[in-house]
Structure 1
Amino acid sequence: MTINTTNFRHKMIEQQIRPWSVTDLQVLETLNVIKREFFATEAQLPLVFSDIFLPILDTAEVMLEPKIEARVLQALKPNGRDIVLEIGTGSGYMAALLAYFAKSVTTVEILPTLADFAISNLNKCRIPNVKVELGDGSEGWHLASNNTYDIICISGGLKDVPTALQHQLTIGGRLFAFVGEAPVMSAVLITRLSHDYFQTQALFETLVPMLTSQQSQAEVFEF
């Protein structure tokens, strides 16, 4: 079956994403540039622009609804100097969106099959400024060269945001998280205003799958 991806992408943006308070023109244009279908399997192509959670391979992990991904990008929207950390790589799509604006993105995935899938997708799209790492980043992620980040994106639900993750923000840095439990979660933006003062802003209510977390040995994949 042949899918007119240009037409479906246009409908996704105009009918799902714009009505959900996504007004940043650069964010909307990025959704045209970073092709969402390149981060799903060929069999999923008929559904990749739909307003649903899209399963990733044979795992319990999902790509979030397109309107939620767009709201996350709009809330965080890096500048060209920002160092970004994402927890929960999944297909690699959110990392790719963030990387379009950021200096660099480190994205951490706990499942090896998804880390490999994301690397393949990012390579396919020739996105050079993303590093995929394997491990549990739910309590923070420390690199030899960098222990703080300008932006942290947590691409899964948490009961609360660990203090360790908040303290990996630079002063002025921002963290996006989905906080709470079923039946409803709050999408929150946390800004670090000083060494020990954090401001939390609730952006919208939603419900997303919880972030997978367990102790594991971290490995690094670079491309």
Structure 2
Amino acid sequence: MKDTFTHRGMRKRLVETLQKKGIKSKQILEAINTIPRHLFMDSGFIDHAYVDKAFPIAADQTISQPYTVARQTELLGITKGDKVLEIGTGSGYQTAVLLELETQVYTIERQNELFKKTKRFLPKLGYRPKRFIFGDGYIGLEAEAPFDGIIVTAGAPYVPKPLLAQLKIGANLVIPVGDAVQIMTVFTRKSETEFEKNEYGEFRFVPLLEDKN
């Protein structure tokens, strides 16, 4: 597993691209500048690792476009030490970004093949979530709730109520909602019963799987 001077130069250019697209958080840009994204991808795609695009990974899933990762992370509104639930670990790239921000990450993956692969892989790069669970993201992780932020990295046809229930007051759920095309949606918990909803444009994700354990 090599991270060369060339890779670092490509990451710098990627960061410049994200800045031009409107990503403002210095911490998130620094995380993307630090993480060797090419190591999260199948070898055939390594030359494309620092292009701002999504690419296929194992189990018919994708590694998200860097802009999408940065935008979702920005919308979470988290700070150092916050407790974050990630639904859809995938390759672990988004997980690594959250860990670079020094948050406590609890992550759930539904695809067993990916779960096993990523659970072995992340510690090799020094990334260690607080908990890594093979399970159904639709039900969240009630045992560890409430969370300072919840991020969903797959397209959900509807908003799972358990995820809303597991938010702290003042915290955000960032979730792409829809079928073929998703609307990036942020729910902010205002009280025990009230949520504010904001939408941030169209994105495309693989579907969030349910009830198959």
- Stretches of 4+ moved more than 4 A in 1? none
The corresponding residue for 1:219 is none
Matched, 1:195 2:192: yes
- Using the size of structure 1 for normalisation, the TM-score is 0.87
Q: Secondary structure at the match of 2:53?
A: coil
Q: How does 1:41-52 map to 2 (within 5 A)?
A: 41-52=42-53
Unaligned runs of 5+ in 2: none
The corresponding residue for 2:6 is 4
Q: Secondary structure at the match of 2:210?
A: coil
Q: How does 1:1-223 map to 2 (within 5 A)?
A: 4-15=6-17, 17-57=18-58, 59-143=59-143, 146-182=144-180, 184-216=181-213
Matching residue's letter, 2:11: R
Count of matched residue positions in the alignment of Structure 1 and Structure 2: 210
What's the RMSD between the two structures over aligned residues?
Answer: 1.8
Q: Secondary structure at the match of 1:9?
A: helix
- Using the size of structure 2 for normalisation, the TM-score is 0.91
Offset at residue 120 of structure 1 (A)? 2.5
Given that 2:138 and 2:162 are in contact with CA atoms closer than 8 Å, whether structure 1 keeps it comes out as no
Structure with the larger helix share? 2
Q: Secondary structure at the match of 1:4?
A: helix
Offset at residue 77 of structure 1 (A)? 4.3
Q: Secondary structure at the match of 2:137?
A: coil
In 1, distance between residues paired with 2:33 and 2:147? 27
Given that 1:77 and 1:101 are in contact with CA atoms closer than 8 Å, whether structure 2 keeps it comes out as no
Given that 2:107 and 2:129 are in contact with CA atoms closer than 8 Å, whether structure 1 keeps it comes out as no
In 2, distance between residues paired with 1:27 and 1:169? 22
In 2, distance between residues paired with 1:192 and 1:141? 17
In 2, distance between residues paired with 1:3 and 1:47? 16
Q: Secondary structure at the match of 2:13?
A: helix
- For residues 92-136 of structure 1, the C-alpha deviation after alignment (integer angstroms, 9 at most, x for no partner) is 111111122244111100112111221223111112344211011
